[in-house]
């Protein structure tokens, strides 16, 4: 399966378990891999034969910058469900959410979760 990769999208959200996280907010980085057949788009050079990734990024922005989730696992799951629900051409998605500055007394590059979801076969 072919894929389109959207890397290191940066958003500001209010997700987390601690009250400070939901009050002050923090940065989140999101990577997605969209799995779909790009054969026709490659041959025809027509946007209608693929997914408009600018539109996908706006879908993701609305989720990350919207309703807070306690867990980045839930945030990733919501992104995957929304993208698969809105863009029928996408057959599967991998979502990685990175919280680069979790409120721990330790220095590291952050914590991330990565999930992979496929469209249910009918």
Q: How many residues in the chain?
A: 122
Contact, 33 vs 81, CB < 8 A?
no
- Let me know if 67 is a catalytic residue: no
Cα dihedral across residues 38, 39, 43, 44: positive or negative: negative
Radius of gyration of the chain (CA): 16
Annotated catalytic residue: which of 33, 67, 70, 99?
A: 99
Return the closest-CA partner of residue 1 out of 38, 42, 31, 28: 38
Which active-site residues does the annotation give? 99
């Amino acid at each position: 399966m072919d894929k389109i990769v959207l890397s290191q999208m940066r958003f500001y959200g209010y997700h987390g378990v601690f009250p400070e996280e939901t009050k002050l907010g923090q940065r989140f980085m999101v990577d997605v891999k969209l799995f779909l057949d790009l054969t026709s788009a490659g041959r025809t050079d027509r946007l209608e034969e693929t997914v408009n990734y600018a539109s996908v990024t706006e879908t993701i922005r609305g989720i990350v910058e919207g309703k807070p989730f306690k867990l980045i696992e839930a945030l990733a799951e919501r992104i995957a469900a929304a993208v698969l629900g809105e863009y029928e051409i996408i057959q599967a998605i991998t979502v990685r959410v990175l919280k680069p500055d979790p409120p721990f007394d330790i220095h590291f590059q952050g914590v991330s979760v990565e999930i992979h979801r496929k469209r249910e076969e009918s």
